[in-house]
Structure 1
Amino acid sequence: MVDVPLSGPARLERQVALVTGAAGGIGRATVAALAEAGARVVATDITEPQGAWPQGVSFRRCDVSSAAATDSVIDAILEEHGRIDILVLCAGTISHAPLSDSTEEEWRAILDVNLFGVVNPVRKLFPVMAQQGYGKIVALGSIAAKIGGVASGPSYVAAKSAVHGLMKWVAKAGAAKGVYANVVAPGPVETPMWSKVTQRAAPSPHGSVPLGRYGQPEDIAQSILFLCSPASNWITGTVLDVNGGMLMD
């Protein structure tokens, strides 16, 4: 069993971080936050967005719904950097279809990205982190998994609920090996993905969010940074609610 260090400053110098879904609103803000804290960050997504990345960030194209593609990219990162200390799982997509209108194709598409896009990197990196005696894994969950949805359909709720459960298993299995696993569960955050919801039946922030506004990607990124850093060295297996007070659990 490894010695569990005391919690310390939220700095990440000399650490290597891998962020999936890095082209999205929360993913890109997370890349910036980790880089600002001193990490060497490898950003991955299916496509690379326009604009420069912060200093200390490199990009690799990766479809995390494919185990083979994920393994190949992680092997290349390990070859280049020698280790991966932090894994942040932001890849995601959303569906609004009610159960009666949902199709097998839609369910598989949502599960491929939101669930297997977590399973594939974790399955590959968990033994690597366990062998090196340290690793912090943070997955993006959702308030939808805790309250049965906000404006999303059942496939999204089911996928995010599975992510919450998976990360608790990883936390228990990894605790004695120095591997932490946690979830950040956002409420409504103003991102391109959330804009698809606001065109439908999104709740008003003034009526449903006690703090009176939707979240911004930076709100979630700073919470992810906390769980990736030494500041959270006595936290594992938790689901951190970041939702402006929508859910007070």
Structure 2
Amino acid sequence: MLTGCFYGTVYKNSDRLALNQLEKYVALTDDQQAWFLKEFGQVQVIHQSRYLPTYQEWLSVLKNGWKDMDEQQLYELSMRVNAHWYELIESLEPASIKFLMSLDNSQKAQLIDSIKEKMQLRQNDVDRQARALTRFEDILGSLDKKQKDMIARHVDKTAFYQEIRALNNQNRLAAIESLLAQKQLGEADIIKLGRYVVNHPRYWPEHRIEKRERRIRDQIKFMLRLRETLSNNQQEELAHYFDELSDLLVVLKNTKL
């Protein structure tokens, strides 16, 4: 009960939490803060009423079928989640562009520099394996040596995809920085800026789409191999994890904003 109250309070106040995170990247004026809180509040109402039921549906599919779902079923679910993510980001495009255009030159520079710094920290990350093991242990409980080795190999294998993603993000950020440096943006420039911000796959070259496809397939195949190694206790831990997520979504859905 206390946990539910905690997450309900966090969800209710997520506008302020999001603002605090944003201001780690760029200092905002009072007017900009007020605008952000208003926009976030509107998005949150839509998120709660429209998207949380969808998340509950997806979680129910996993909760009831994770033991038996095959690669294609997991792939189709994954693509539905991906499509939702880009739908959500696209819905935020007008507000995102309006926010970027409201920044003065010093704020734009601060924002870009902060993003570059965060990106560099991620590139220099040497603890990906340790964090991956911790995430799996949080869900499954103790892992045996075979499982730890499987996870470590998978993390090493996905390093290539991480490097490609980092390079694409660097190029994307450079394009955004170039557009924001212009004194005035025409309609075509604003459309370009929106595309770089959203980064929808429909504008990607074919080779990027193929790499994403391989990455998703590789991830699913790894999860299926790992599933075959789960002990009875680990299966119970995973079922409990799904139950906790289900309870959390109910709390968030019923939270009065």
Could you say whether these structures have the same fold, taking a TM-score greater than 0.5 normalized by the shorter chain as the test? no
> Of Structure 1 and Structure 2, which has the larger fraction of its residues in helix?
2
Q: TM-score range by the shorter chain?
A: under 0.3
**TM score, norm. by length of structure 1:** 0.27
**TM score, norm. by length of structure 2:** 0.26
> Of Structure 1 and Structure 2, which has the larger fraction of its residues in strand?
1
